[in-house]
Structure 1
Amino acid sequence: MTLHRRAVLAGLVPLGARTALAQGEPWPAPGRPITIVVAWAPGGSTDFVGRVVAQQLSKEIGGNVVVDNRPGASGTVGHASVARARPDGYTLLLGVNSTYAMSRHLFPQRGYDDERAFAPIGRIAVSPIFLCVTPKLGTPTIAAFIARAKSMPGKLSYGSSGAGSSAHLATELFLRSAGITVQNVTYRGGAPAVQALIAGEVEMAFVDAVTALPLMASGQIAAIGVSTPERNPLAPDVPTIAESGLPGFQATSDFALLAPAGTPEPIIHQLSAGLAATMQNPEVLGRLRQGSIFPTFGTPEEFPAYLATESAKWGEVIRSRGIILE
């Protein structure tokens, strides 16, 4: 255990114990479930992270933690429901940076303020995004793809699921960094966009790791770069975009656990300690790693600075690229 993680656990409520609140009621109360709202449909990476974390967190805090999927409006429906929830520790949110850091610049009337509506419990993990091309294009490297795009400006296309997703904004950051023009073809969801890439209807797409890895292995798509600062251990031969001529490039799907603002500090502390222990559990780490999701645990105190940096970065990308809702 690192010094940082020991500090999170030290001096807090013992794991598995119940917090005694000022009004004398223990938390979590026996038999009362704690709900983690996932603002996306079942089956995706966010849902997967939520269920893996919920199962172990139940053991760490001595309560029953369950997942409730509330999708809609790029995640803002689920976020809004938690922002309105009673701050008693029984309703939590598994947030993703595409919603808590990006959507504010696209949905100004979403009905809540990310800084004021939520109390951070901690960051959980990140998932890389692969820059993929159709093998038919014959561009095995990022340099080759950029050269092809510059030789035929506006003739190549990329698939996306619409404005505001992590993959879409990663694409726009890449195009800006590379100084190339590639046309956006919007599909009704990430799966149809990937199918379009497989079929050769579009030449490029950013694809989340859990989807991309099996398609890369079967040769249906070719990954020419990964969005993280380090290479993905599950695909070590794929270079990072940063090392391929675009230094500093980084775009990931980030997961964090949040609570409604006003949740009592003892509950936040117990949840943070439980989350720290969860993210050190070998079984949890193994299951997440199989989905190419890697821990980046952070404390509640560290989250505001991270959120400010992430929001500023993507707000600038959205403004500079003129991205609007479709």
Structure 2
Amino acid sequence: MYGFSRNGGGLLPRLALCAAALLGASVAHAAYPERPVRVIVPFAAGGGADIVARLVFKGVSEQLGKAFIIDNRGGAGGIIGTDAVAKAEPDGYTLLLGQSGPNAINPSVYSKLPYDARKDFAPVTQLTRYPYVVAVKKQLPVDNLKELIALAKRQPGTLTVSTAGQGSSAHLAIELFMRQAGISINAVPYKGAGPALLDVVGGTVDMTFGDAASASKQAQAKNVKAVAVTGAKRSPLLPDVPTVAEAGVPGYEASAWHGVLAPRGTPEPIIRTLQAAIVKVLADPALKARLAEDGIETVGSSPEEFNRALLAEIDKWHTVVVEANIKLE
């Protein structure tokens, strides 16, 4: 409540000071960014997250007139880079290229994390979503998902499925599939999606949930059989291949994603400036076409929509992790 001072000061001078302070803060935020912005990608250069970050933030840099510098900080399943952003100054000059693994799955598969995925970040926007392809070796006597499920039920625990790593988003998609389909398949962890897919091509393992770009190429070359995609809709790379839900497991959906997050406490005007610029970049037909080559769909959500989606993802994968008893240290 405003009051009057005994030395002649009063309500009007105080209001003037408050207005000046608010105007100064507004001008400071309106000028954002005044210097280069660092975007931490918690994975090595050259991977999918790195490619998305460089494509998107090249456009954002052009929109906002300052450099957005990609800083690759890989290691520990994305934990190192993600934690660096959680502990950064909330001034808009350090951002995170978030992904389903570090931000939605790690909170459940690791007993301890140095950051709180629910509380330590301010969502800006979801950039992308992309499904996995259920690819089986060509020697397996199945031609569609229903036949694969039937075979797994006849031979419980005998089929093998390669994963991109224990606790990875592809691994969780497999665990969710097994539970909803009522089957048991032996999951074999690999160091990455590439080796996991190559051993299906070579016939060493029976199947994998591979990334759409690589798995579709192998399917088109008839090195594997693509029997379903895990997303909510079909992939443009494999338009004749049904979704898992269409092919016999109603309600199933598993997609990975990228998004932009800032440290908690980042001023809302900065969040809004970033979101508006990023959404404009994501609407560019050339960018959409480039990402579609890898089976990636652009999103461009509001901060509120992204926050709701992220919290729902954390809850969804927590249930799967608990039921499958997956733990990493």
Return the letter of the residue paired with 1:186: P
Which residue among 213, 219, 222 is the counterpart of 1:219? 222
Q: Secondary structure at the match of 1:131?
A: strand
Deviations 1:223-261 (A, max 9, x none): 100011111122111011001110111101111100111
RMSD, aligned α-carbons: 1.7
Residue 233 (structure 1) aligned with residue 240 (structure 2): no
Name 2:13's counterpart in structure 1: none
If you compute each CA radius of gyration, which structure gives the higher value, 1 or 2? Answer: 2
Name 1:79's counterpart in structure 2: 82
Instruction: List alignment gaps of at least 5 residues for structure 2.
Output: 1-22
Matches within 5 A, 1:19-30: 21=25, 24=28, 26-29=31-34
Name 1:261's counterpart in structure 2: 264
Q: Secondary structure at the match of 1:324?
A: coil
Deviations 1:74-114 (A, max 9, x none): 11111101111111111111101122111100123211111
Deviations 1:100-137 (A, max 9, x none): 11110012321111122111111111011101100111
TM-score, length basis structure 2: 0.89
CA contact (8 A) 2:152 2:158 kept: yes
Matches within 5 A, 1:1-326: 21=25, 24=28, 26-29=31-34, 32-325=35-328
Return the letter of the residue paired with 1:195: L
Name 1:4's counterpart in structure 2: none
TM-score, length basis structure 1: 0.90
Deviations 1:141-198 (A, max 9, x none): 0111111111211111111132221110011111111111111112222222111111
Q: 1:107 to 1:27 in 2, by over 3 A?
A: same
CA contact (8 A) 1:21 1:27 kept: no
- Partners in 1 of 2:232 and 2:28 — Cα distance? 48
Q: 1:20 to 1:222 in 2, by over 3 A?
A: farther
Q: CA deviation at 1:303?
A: 2.2
**Greater alpha carbon shift after TM alignment, 196-205 vs 186-195:** 186-195
Q: 1:108 to 1:60 in 2, by over 3 A?
A: farther
CA contact (8 A) 1:74 1:164 kept: no
Deviations 1:1-44 (A, max 9, x none): xxxxxxxxxxxxxxxxxx97458583211xx3212111112222
CA contact (8 A) 2:121 2:262 kept: yes
Q: Secondary structure at the match of 1:139?
A: coil
Deviations 1:278-325 (A, max 9, x none): 111122111111111101221112222212211111100111111222
- Partners in 2 of 1:259 and 1:54 — Cα distance? 14
- Partners in 2 of 1:24 and 1:322 — Cα distance? 49
- Partners in 1 of 2:93 and 2:213 — Cα distance? 30
- Partners in 2 of 1:61 and 1:253 — Cα distance? 28
- Partners in 2 of 1:20 and 1:68 — Cα distance? 31
Q: CA deviation at 1:210?
A: 2.0
Q: Secondary structure at the match of 1:55?
A: helix
CA contact (8 A) 1:45 1:210 kept: no
**Greater alpha carbon shift after TM alignment, 265-274 vs 159-168:** 159-168
Instruction: List alignment gaps of at least 5 residues for structure 1.
Output: 1-18
- Partners in 2 of 1:315 and 1:24 — Cα distance? 40
Q: CA deviation at 1:272?
A: 0.7
Q: State percent identity of aligned pairs.
A: 39
CA contact (8 A) 1:20 1:27 kept: no
Aligned residues: 306
Q: Secondary structure at the match of 1:168?
A: helix
- Partners in 1 of 2:210 and 2:25 — Cα distance? 45
Q: CA deviation at 1:269?
A: 1.0
**Greater alpha carbon shift after TM alignment, 19-28 vs 60-69:** 19-28
- Partners in 2 of 1:175 and 1:280 — Cα distance? 36
